[in-house]
Structure 1
Amino acid sequence: MAAKILLIEDEPWIRENVDTLLTLKGYQVVTAPTGREGLIQAMLNLPDLILCDIRMPEMDGYQVLEAIRNNRSLAAIPFIFLTAKTEETDVRKGMVLGADDYLTKPFTLESLLLAIESRLRREVSRQADIHGRLDELRSTLISVSNHEYNTPLSSIFGLTALLMDHYDEFNREDSIEMLSMIKASSLRLKRSLDNPKIWEELQQVPSMPTSFISGISRIDNEIVNQSISRINDRQDQKVNCQFDLESAQISLSETHLGIILEELIDNACKFSDGSHPIQLSGHLGEINYQLTISNHGRLFKPEDIARIAPYKQFDRKIYEQQGLGLGLAIVQKLLSLTRGSMVIESQPTGETSILVILQRELS
């Protein structure tokens, strides 16, 4: 199928000549005489590439480019300026706004075709890379989600069937133990279903805090105890954790503070070797609150810190891991939305520490 090119040019003779030449070369061409008309045509036709003049009345090429790059459905379309302006400041301005190339008038058919073909090839390569990554992510999601959903479901089904078929053969203590295992599996399954929803909600939040993310909560030993209790219920075992936190008011909703604490403590449990208790400490700064979570066990590689991303689990093929790989990504996103930050350090001795900076609510 022929590539579709949108030509935005206010000079009729240039517009008609370029239209004719590109059509003869097999391209499908849509034209517009003004910037505003060009934007409308871009949204209606979703071209594979845009050629646009800079100097146009009412809406110039820079404004067209800015509008294109701010539109989610159009933002990735290759954009080439056609211009008589060749000063470095003009070129720089266009590149800053996201232009892919410049052609200076008058240009030859050969240079026009080379510029178009080069950008279209790059776009094909980019799309192939995106599809490859999506296929890899889809495969990972299917594999991880099958494990995360089926493991607790198998436990729930198996234990429920056992209790139903042989209920009169178990004493009270055995029945309560199996019910506790069913509860733990149910909570694990709920978390596996909740975290993708939390991540998607956070993706819709603007870069500045909104009512969804903002609020005031108190960080202290009690809220840590609550987080540990939820993890205990989900894992059906006790978290070995020592903590001592200074109390403070935090510029973060209680719900989202709880998510941060639970995800970080859960992550520390997951990668701890059990030789040392998990350590939590919290200290007041002048304008922030510094929370540190430490554990002994598998090292967090320096290169992995920059690779924290949703559905990303490091060395999953080597180590058996629980979870969808969303915990640290959710924490990182929550912190970025509330002017907080997170620093991860691992020592050769096996100790990994996560320093979390939270914004205090100052009276």
Structure 2
Amino acid sequence: MATKILIIEDETLIRENVAELVRLNGYHVVTASTGREGLIQAMLHRPDLILCDIRMPEMDGYQVLEAVRDYRSLKTVPFIFLTAKAEESDIRRGMVLGADDYLTKPFTLSGLLTAIAGRLQREALRETDLQGRLAELRRSINSLSSHEYNTPLSCIIGFTTLLLDSYDEFSREDSLEMLTMIKASSLRLKRSIDNPRLLEELQQIDRVPSSYTTGSTMFDKELVNKAIGRINDRQELDVTCHLDLESAQISLSETSLGVILEELLDNAFKFSDGSHPVKLSGRRGEINYQLTISNHGRVFKPEDIIRIAPYRQFDRDIYEQQGLGLGLAIVQKLLTLTKGSMVIESQPTGETSILVIFRRELL
């Protein structure tokens, strides 16, 4: 299929001449005599590149460009301005809005074709890079998902089969131990299913008030101990945890606060080496509440801190670890939506501290 180029130009002679020159060089051409008509054409039949005059009545080129960049399916379409003059202020304004290039009238055929080819090539490279990253992400998700779904399922199926086939041969203690492992595996599997859905919901909120971003919750030891209990049930852990917390009313729903606590504590427990207890310290500020969670174990490298993203786990090829790599991404998104923040510091000695700042509910 031929590359489609949309030409938006109100001067008939220029529009027809440019269209003919471009068409003769193998491109499929669509034209529009007004900015409004051109925008409609772009929305109905997405072009591969847009050539647009700046000075047009009713809707000028800047307005067209702004509308194009606001339209999701057109955001990345290369956009070249055609202009009778190219003052620095005009160029700067266009670049701020997202223009890719300028051609000053009168321009040569070679200049026009070079600009078109250059922008199309850059877009092709961008698309290739994007597809490569998407393929890498799909491979990562498939690999993580396969492990996170199949491991607990194997445990559930295996112990359930043993109990069904040989129930009378096991002592009560053995049966309870197997049932406990079935429960832990079921909770782990549920979390692996729930977290992708939760992250997707959070990404759709974008600062619009919701049950995740509104509310008020008392932050205290009882709330923390509930989160610790849920983690221990799922991970079959019994990690020593020291609490030094001041109680405070936090401007966050209990669900969201529980998610943040559980995800951060889950990581602290999971990556501790057992030599030191996990520590939680919470202090009231004038308008904020500062929570610090510290553990001793795997070092969180500085270059990894800035690369936190969904479905990204660090050094998984070296260390066995549970999860889909969504925990910190979920915490970051919740804090962003509620005007909180998080800072991670990790020392070469193995101590990692996460400082979380919540907004307090001021009475």
TM-score by structure 2 length? 0.98
Where does residue 315 of structure 1 map in the other structure? 315
Task: After TM superposition, give the deviation of residue 211 of structure 1 in Å.
Answer: 4.7
Matched, 1:31 2:31: yes
| Structure 2 counterpart of 1:231 | 231
Report the Cα distance in structure 2 between the residues aligned to 1:52 and 1:212, rounded to whole angstroms.
44
Q: Aligned pair 1:77/2:77, yes or no? A: yes
Amino acid at match of 1:110: S
1:51 matched to 2:51? The reply is: yes
Residue 295 of structure 1: CA displacement?
A: 0.3
d(CA) in 2 for partners of 1:240, 1:214:
32
Residues 212 and 223 of structure 1: CA distance in aligned 2, closer, same or farther (over 3 Å): closer
- Partners of 2:81 and 2:137 lie apart in 1 by 35
Contact persistence 2:216–2:249 (CA under 8 A):
yes
Give 1:297 deviation, angstroms.
Answer: 0.6
Partner of 1:267: helix, strand, or coil?
helix
For residues 86 and 174 of structure 2, the distance between their equivalents in structure 1, rounded to whole angstroms, comes to: 82
Question: After the TM superposition, which of the residue ranges 82-91 and 125-134 deviates more from structure 2?
Answer: 82-91
Using the alignment, how far apart are the partners of 1:64 and 1:264 within structure 2? 46
SS in 2 for 1:358: strand
- The one-letter code sitting in structure 2 at the alignment partner of 1:185 is S
Q: What's 2:114 paired with?
A: 114
Which residue does 1:187 correspond to in 2? 187
* Residue ranges of structure 1 left out of the alignment (5+ in a row): none
Letter paired with 2:218: R
1:63-92 Cα distance to aligned partner (Å, 9 max, x none): 111111111111011111111231111111
1:219 counterpart = 2:219: yes
Q: CA deviation at 1:56?
A: 1.2
CA contact (8 A) 1:54 1:83 kept: yes
Deviation (angstroms), 1:244: 2.0
Counterpart CA distance in 1 for 2:45 and 2:216 is 47
Q: Tell me if 1:135 matches 2:135.
A: yes
Q: Which residue of 2 aligns with 1:332?
A: 332
1:105 aligns with 2:112: no
**How far does residue 359 in structure 1 lie from its aligned partner after superposition?**
1.0
Task: Give the distance between the partners of 1:129 and 1:318, measured in 2 at CA.
Answer: 27
Structure 2, unmatched stretches of 5+, are: none
* Structure 1, 312-321 or 232-241: larger mean CA deviation: 232-241
The more displaced of 258-267 and 69-78 is 69-78
| Structure 2 residue 92 is the aligned partner of structure 1 residue 92 | yes
Are the aligned partners of 1:281 and 1:291 in contact in 2 as well (CA < 8 Å)?
Answer: yes
Letter aligned with residue 182 of structure 1: I
- In structure 1, the residue matched to 2:204 is 204
User: How far did 1:207 drift?
Assistant: 3.6
- How far has the Cα of 1:210 moved from its partner? 4.1
What SS does structure 2 have at the residue aligned with 1:349? coil
Q: Does the CA contact (< 8 Å) of 1:141 and 1:311 recur in 2?
A: yes
Cα distance in 1 between the residues matched to 2:117 and 2:132: 22
Q: State the aligned residue count.
A: 363
Q: Deviations over 1:96-152 (max 9, x none)?
A: 111111111111111111111000000110011011111111111111110000000
Decide whether aligned partners of structure 1 residues 225 and 213 sit closer, same or farther in structure 2, where only a CA change above 3 A counts.
same
Q: Would you say the 8 A contact 1:228–1:239 is kept in 2?
A: no
- Please say if residues 31 and 38 of structure 2, whose CA atoms lie closer than 8 Å, have aligned partners that are also in contact: yes
Greater CA deviation, 240-249 or 317-326? 240-249
Identity %: 74
Partner of residue 298, structure 2 = 298
SS at match of 2:242: strand
1:239 & 1:85 partners in 2: Cα distance? 70
User: Where does residue 262 of structure 1 map in the other structure?
Assistant: 262
C-alpha root-mean-square deviation of aligned residues, in Å?
Answer: 1.1
| AA aligned opposite 2:188 | R
Aligned to 2:145: 145
8 Å Cα contact 1:35/1:64 also seen in 2: yes
* Letter paired with 2:251: S
SS in 1 for 2:74: coil
* Contact 1:231–1:239 (Cα < 8 Å) also in 2: no
Q: TM-score, normalised by structure 1?
A: 0.98
Change (3 A) 1:211 1:173: closer
For 1:361 and 1:37, the matched residues in 2 are separated by 51
Q: Matched residues in 2 for 1:289 and 1:140: separation?
A: 36
Q: What secondary structure sits across from 2:157 in the alignment? A: helix
CA separation in 2, counterparts of 1:120 and 1:21? 17
CA distance in 2, matches of 1:74, 1:265: 42
Cα distance between partner residues in 2 of 1:68 and 1:213? 31
Which 10-residue stretch deviates more, 205-214 or 337-346?
205-214
Q: Is the Cα contact below 8 Å between 1:281 and 1:292 reproduced in 2?
A: yes
Other structure's SS at 1:322 match: coil
Cα distance in 2, alignment partners of residues 254 and 90 from structure 1: 51
Structure 2 counterpart SS, 1:315: coil
Deviation per CA, 1:199-245: give whole Å up to 9, x if none. 11111112454454222112111110010010011012223211121
